[in-house]
């Protein structure tokens, strides 16, 4: 017969085993719940590979607050400029593929592939990054100094042909959209003009306003107010159709150079191999934001026409852009600085 001491000890051991089993079960359940908790569980970041204040930065700041509302967690904007967008882009390419770090990309990443070559880039655009959502497209606005005796793209072509090598065109830097656009214009119209690259769009605009250069393919948000005030003259937009709300400004194609078309774009990219359910969650949030009239109107004010697409359609768009830019860069023999 067991003693009372032995019986008490047995009950104590049994109690401890039950507590341990319960503790293990609770821990397992907690971990399971934590593991299956839907994305996101913490703040996210959008990396902008430019200084604050430009068109790319503005697109990020328009999108982020509304996306955060849909996702239920904050989205922080972090500017990482430098090396023709390569510093910020490379940072995202090497970030964990968990959906918490996104890249606000534009045409510059596409141009860099052709200008620098994949082997000389710190990351591979197509292998290290994957498409998330196209935000919108934005035409550039061809503007000239008012002293230039031209009223249309046709007039500009005629003047440039009459004075080969005399007209100068500014750009925000080698390989920027403001450089690619006039290179395509030159090539299609068979013109000789001198390129003056700057360290940014503000410097390029300042010298154009001062008459130091002849023309500039400007961001809509910068060039349009100056054209409306009469400080610059707008000749046309680079898109294949007239821009929404600006029916009085023709396309370059219809005002002197048939077939000309080049649009800038803004979109979100993720590190490659981000889980599909996370991609879908972020993509759904971005497209919901783009469908709201408030955001559409805000983007239009910045010269951006909202263009919600599927991930697959955005991927095809990027590939076509790569092929188009490769030809422009090759024909213009654009080399890195």
Task: Check which CATH number belongs to the domain holding 168 and give it.
Answer: 3.40.190.10
Q: Is residue 20 part of a domain?
A: no
pLDDT of residue 22: 53
Q: Is residue 27 part of a domain?
A: no
**Do 132 and 270 share a domain, yes or no?**
yes
**Do 113 and 182 share a domain, yes or no?**
no
**Do 144 and 228 share a domain, yes or no?**
yes
**Do 124 and 176 share a domain, yes or no?**
no
Question: Count of domains in the chain?
Answer: 2
Question: What does each C-alpha distance from 225 to 6, 220, 295, 299 come to in angstroms?
Answer: 92, 8, 21, 15
The boundaries of the domain holding residue 143 are 139-237
Q: Is residue 15 part of a domain?
A: no
Report pLDDT digits (tens) over 229-267: 999 999 999 999 999 878 899 999 999 999 999 998 999
pLDDT of residue 32: 46
| Overall average pLDDT of the 80-90 stretch | 91
Quickly state the pLDDT bin for 19 (edges 50, 70, 90). low
**Do 162 and 127 share a domain, yes or no?**
no
Task: Kindly report the average pLDDT of the chain as a whole number.
Answer: 89
Q: Is residue 109 part of a domain?
A: yes
**pTM for the complete prediction?**
0.81
Q: Is residue 22 part of a domain?
A: no
């Amino acid at each position: 017969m067991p003693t009372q001491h032995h019986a008490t000890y047995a009950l104590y051991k049994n109690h401890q085993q039950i507590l341990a089993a319960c503790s293990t079960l609770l821990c397992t359940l907690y971990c399971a719940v934590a593991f299956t908790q839907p994305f996101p569980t913490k703040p996210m970041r959008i990396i902008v590979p430019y200084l604050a204040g430009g068109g790319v930065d503005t697109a990020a700041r328009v999108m982020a607050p509304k996306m955060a509302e849909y996702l239920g967690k904050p989205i922080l904007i972090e500017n990482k400029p430098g090396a023709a967008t390569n510093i910020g882009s490379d940072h995202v390419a090497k970030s964990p593929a968990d959906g918490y770090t996104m890249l606000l990309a534009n045409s510059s990443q596409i141009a860099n592939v052709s200008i620098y070559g994949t082997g000389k880039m710190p990351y591979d655009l197509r292998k290290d990054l994957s498409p998330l959502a196209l935000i919108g497209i934005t035409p550039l606005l061809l503007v000239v100094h008012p002293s230039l005796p031209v009223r249309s793209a046709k007039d500009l072509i005629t003047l440039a042909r009459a004075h080969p090598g005399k007209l100068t065109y500014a750009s925000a830097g080698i390989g920027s959209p403001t450089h690619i656009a006039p290179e395509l214009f030159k090539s299609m119209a068979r013109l000789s003009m001198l390129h003056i690259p700057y360290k940014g769009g503000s410097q390029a605009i300042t010298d154009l306003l001062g008459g130091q250069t002849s023309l500039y393919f400007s961001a809509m948000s910068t060039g349009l107010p100056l054209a409306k005030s009469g400080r610059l003259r707008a000749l046309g937009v680079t898109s294949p159709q007239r821009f929404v709300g600006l029916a009085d400004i023709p396309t370059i194609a219809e005002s002197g150079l048939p077939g000309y078309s080049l649009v800038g774009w803004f979109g979100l990219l993720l590190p490659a191999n981000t889980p599909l359910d996370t991609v879908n969650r972020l993509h759904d949030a971005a497209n919901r934001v783009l469908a709201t009239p408030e955001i559409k109107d805000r983007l239009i004010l910045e010269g951006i026409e909202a263009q919600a697409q599927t991930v697959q359609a955005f991927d095809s768009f990027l590939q076509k852009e790569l092929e188009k830019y490769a030809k422009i860069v090759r024909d213009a023999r654009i080399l890195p600085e």
